[in-house]
Structure 1
């Protein structure tokens, strides 16, 4: 049995992992798919104080409360900025880290800092001021290139505005997350924006990363849940093998355990 922790992307909530959760839980694994503060079933907690560090603390608190270890941590889209910082804080508790069309943050820089000036201006122009602080309204689900019209309608129905601070707060990283033995990046092929495919191509040069492609839209956990579950299960198996190798006793030159 493995422990899976799934971090959703912008405007979404834990609900978007429902199909993957059913597959993994059906095979006897423990699966956690929390909604980050101000999103999903926790949309009522949106406030001016919610920022990127709030979401990092959400996931760290769950790990602590559930006493998780050897976690298979998977992040989608914006969730990459959250999961990378979580993994950086507790790398010893992460067996595998999988990025699914996900952003990779940089120390001291916000997600908006990583965008081009043109895209940054386009994002800021969409900001809406509310009594709960400035927010970014959800992008239309049609942009995600989902295969089924009913899924597009579901995503549009469930997505909610997200606190702007989650995109303007700088990330805090030491690089400790790169110690994790199993690192994988999966990009989707039907999502029209090339950003995540470009990132996968860059990471393909790093021998620490395994690169996968999924024939789906951006919300692969909705579009191809079995493929995503298979990726997570194979990552869990690789992490178990890596842990067993590290735990195996060293042998003397004569071939006996030292």
Structure 2
């Protein structure tokens, strides 16, 4: 059995570029990774909802499972879109359709692990958004200022590096925060949650709550919780550790 392919889904305000360090480490270990660009981040004009994200995630994974086993890695915001995009793409369902592959594991890196019918913010509001999320209702966008980037995303990264990373941040479509999930893939696909304890304390508390609530909400396949002393973006601050963790989690399904 060949190694599974990692599909890496970036969070809000980011681009696939944020995965570059991790991809280099995975490839060094003989693994393949795909990092699609999710249009709700940086699209101009901003999008009314997250449907384009869901479409790209679903199309990317659907193409891969024709021949490959897949591990989907979500970060932060993309836990919502990744979780809702994978209906019918689990290994068992793919096998029943005669496909060679399927999604065999999800890895949520400090991501939104949420149930069906979850909405981050009510339509037309900025409810549940932290002060660092600068909203423009007229422009349908949410931005993060460069001076807030370290506290939001890069707590354990040197200031000079943070300044460079902040240059790649882009506006996020506000409508994406008003969208509603329709599926919870973690109920059907084995799931690992990576809890980054060096993130903002409020984010750590919220993430633990989401995991606990998910487990208590009914059927689920959340079978591993990994706590790491890292900020919000361990794939940037410690790509070696992140790559090895992903490879180890893949090894829970296969010998890789």
- Coarse TM-score class (shorter-chain normalised): 0.7 to 0.9
Question: Contact 1:20/1:226 (CA < 8 Å) preserved in 2?
Answer: yes
Structure 1 match to 2:187 = 178
Q: 1:89 to 1:13 in 2, by over 3 A?
A: farther
Instruction: Tell me if the contact between 2:109 and 2:194 (Cα under 8 Å) persists in the aligned partners.
Output: yes
Summarize deviations over 1:58-79 as a string: whole Å, max 9, x none: 1111123444642111110001
- State the 1:197 CA deviation: 4.2
Q: Which residue of 2 aligns with 1:59?
A: 57
Question: By how many angstroms is 1:191 displaced?
Answer: 1.3
Q: 1:128 to 1:20 in 2, by over 3 A?
A: same
Q: Secondary structure at the match of 1:158?
A: coil
The answer to whether the 8 A contact 2:135-2:174 is kept is no
The secondary structure found in structure 1 opposite 2:135 is: coil
- Displacement of 1:211 in angstroms is 0.7
For 1:52 and 1:22, locate their aligned partners in 2 and report how far apart those are by CA, in whole Å: 29
Q: 1:89 to 1:110 in 2, by over 3 A?
A: farther
Kindly state the Cα deviation for residue 35 of structure 1 after the two structures are TM-superposed.
Answer: 1.5
1:147 aligned partner: 157
Query: Which runs of structure 2 are paired with 1:97-108 in the superposition (5 Å)?
Result: 97-108=106-117
Q: Which residue of the other structure, out of 116, 123, 144, is the alignment partner of 1:138?
A: 144
Larger radius of gyration: 1
Output one character per residue of 1:197-227: Cα deviation in whole Å (capped at 9) or x when no partner: 4433663694833111122111111111111
Change (3 A) 1:68 1:224: farther
Q: Residues 195 and 18 of structure 1: is their aligned pair in 2 closer, same or farther, counting only changes over 3 Å?
A: same
Do residues 166 (structure 1) and 176 (structure 2) align? yes
The separation in 2 between residues aligned to 1:126 and 1:214, in whole angstroms, is 31
Provide the TM-score with structure 1 as the length reference.
Answer: 0.79
Over residues 24-64 of structure 1, what are the superposed CA-to-partner deviations in whole Å (9 max), with x where a residue is unaligned?
1112211001111153xxx3x43354522211111111123
Task: Identify which range, 8-17 or 197-206, moves more after superposition.
Answer: 197-206
**Counterpart residue number, 2:244:** 230
Q: Does 1:21 align with 2:23?
A: yes
Partner SS state of residue 74, structure 2: strand
Question: Please, which of 119, 140, 143 is the counterpart of residue 110 of structure 1?
Answer: 119
Give 3-state SS (helix, strand or coil) of 1:20's partner.
helix
In 2 relative to 1, CA 209–229 (structure 1 residues): closer, same or farther, beyond 3 Å? same
Is 1:81 the counterpart of 2:63? The answer is: no
Cα 1:63–1:212 change in 2 (3 A) is same
Residues 199-238 of structure 1 mapped to structure 2, 5 A cutoff: 199-200=207-208, 203=211, 206=215, 208-238=222-252
Cα deviation for residue 107 of structure 1 reads: 2.0
Residues 56, 86 of structure 1: 8 Å contact kept = yes
The 2-side partners of 1:197 and 1:120 are apart by: 15
| Structure 2: stretches of 5+ with no match in the other structure | 92-101, 216-220
